[in-house]
Amino acid sequence: MIGGGITGLAAAHRLLQLLPHGEFYLYEARDRLGGPLQTIRTHNSLLEQGADSFLIAKPWALELCRELGLADQLIPTNEHHRRALVVRNGKLLPVPEGFVLMQPYDRSAIWRSPVLSVRGKLRLLAEPFIRRPAAALDPGYDESVESFAIRRVGREAYERLVQPLIAGIFVADATKLSLAATYPEFLEAERNYGSLWRAVLAKRREPPPKGHESGQEVGRKQKTAAARYGQFVTLRRGIRSLVEALADALPDGSIHLNSAVNNVARAENGQWRLDFADSQTAIQADGIIIATPAPLAAKLMGNVDRQLADDLAAIEYASSVVVTLVYKRGQIAHPLDGFGAVVPAIENRPIVAASFSTVKFPSHAAADHAVIRVFMGGALNPQLVDREDTELISIAEQQLAELIGAQERPTEVHLARWRHSMPQYHVGHLNRVEAIEKRAATLPRLQLAGNAYHGVGIPQCIHSGRTAAEKLAKQLK
């Protein structure tokens, strides 16, 4: 196993289940496992440095937690304030209820919302009357998030809502982001019903599956973003508990930190040979799983398959910075009546989003504290990641002073840089991944896994790692 992020760990764990008597090793370049799943535990708070929760609608992380005996550690998001705010002219306004990424579920809430101008609302509400291009009927059709959103809901709704909401998830440039690879359901809605709104109506009219609630009820439930936030959970002792439980479940001596693999080659006996960046002796293995980011997988494949290496190298990554600031609740004037705020690019602010961690997960800190995480950088502001810590912290403090009335300095600050950690699924991503997988399938007992391919979320990474382990175990048997 090469790479000790959540993907590599999940793969190793699955391999151990399938081949309990096999000998395997996990090599991680850094001095710690888990990639962006890092929790700082202080005497009275849990401060997440990267990922803070995962989606249960994709079941793989939840299932793994159960297998690892962590089921009683799972905690849902706060039942209150399940909504996002969006910055408009320096003020925080609620994203209209029933507007989920770009799908309008509640037209009257959109009409009442102060986020859009009357013109912007009228254009958004005209969505059912916008014609679908003939090309969109092709099941292999792809388009950027920006062009689809502008086409369907109009430029203002795109700039004020869709762009910041999507950037908050993928730290991506929506002008390049593939809709087919990120939210195929929106393309399907247009393909099948001609419009996002008509798709909502059709779903509401559908008879419920036997033993389930009525289509009306389903429609009503889907109506709010709150339902979506209700599908995220974390762990009582922080997201890092998942990494620790996986590492604990692996055999002693199987994990090697500070072990960067710098070349992979086929040995004469048909085994894979792994060379390390330091003076560590090379090893040979019957099979390997490469669970590193795609550019590093490309480097490792350079001497094995040039075409595969080039395809892998074409998947771009974005970097980001997370500044975690701990305040006394009284230092913040804003009611913090949401899970956080996203910042449209047209607001011209140096931050992508601010997450109100103690609103999302109140048990993560003392009641009189407010923990705010500020996200910066991403594909739209890549140079920011190279600034000095002091400058980035000062930007975060300044933005929070302006946006939520944070007074005086926070009592504690942490900064985490996540360089080249978020793959950018650009238009055509699905075709590229198909080509990569076809090519990789020609190499014996070699599997690729990770966030580069079929989803960036923790559940998708776990699924990718486990699937790679299952395929490799079959090949080894």
Nearest distance, CB of residue 103 and ligand FAD, angstroms: 21
Which lies closer to ligand FAD via its Cβ, residue 28 or residue 311?
28
Q: At which residue do the structure tokens 């599956």 appear?
A: 209
Strands 283-285 and 272-276: antiparallel
Nearest distance, CB of residue 163 and ligand FAD, angstroms: 19
Which lies closer to ligand FAD via its Cβ, residue 50 or residue 344?
50
Which lies closer to ligand FAD via its Cβ, residue 87 or residue 246?
246
Closest C-alpha to 463, from 4, 24, 13, 2: 13
Rounded-to-integer distance, Cα 241 and Cα 245, Å = 6
Give the H or E element holding residue 309.
helix 306-313
Which lies closer to ligand FAD via its Cβ, residue 161 or residue 458?
458
Nearest distance, CB of residue 432 and ligand FAD, angstroms: 17
Nearest distance, CB of residue 211 and ligand FAD, angstroms: 30
Sign of the four-CA dihedral 205, 206, 210, 213: negative
Which lies closer to ligand FAD via its Cβ, residue 120 or residue 378?
378
| Exposed / middle / buried, residue 249 (Cβ in 10 Å: 0-12, 13-18, 19+) | middle
Nearest distance, CB of residue 321 and ligand FAD, angstroms: 8
Which residues make Cβ contacts (< 8 Å) with residue 136, sequence separation at least 6? 143, 187, 190, 191
Q: How many whole angstroms from its chain centre is CA 51? A: 8
What is the contact surface with ligand FAD in residues (CB under 6 A)? 2-8, 27-30, 35-37, 50-54, 260-261, 291-293, 296, 320, 322, 418, 421-422, 450-451, 456-458, 461
Which lies closer to ligand FAD via its Cβ, residue 199 or residue 243?
243
Nearest distance, CB of residue 78 and ligand FAD, angstroms: 15
Helix intervals (H) in 83-193: 107-112, 118-125, 145-153, 155-157, 163-170, 179-182, 184-193
Q: Are 196 and 104 contacting, i.e. CB atoms less than 8 angstroms apart?
A: yes
Which lies closer to ligand FAD via its Cβ, residue 54 or residue 105?
54
Nearest distance, CB of residue 200 and ligand FAD, angstroms: 26
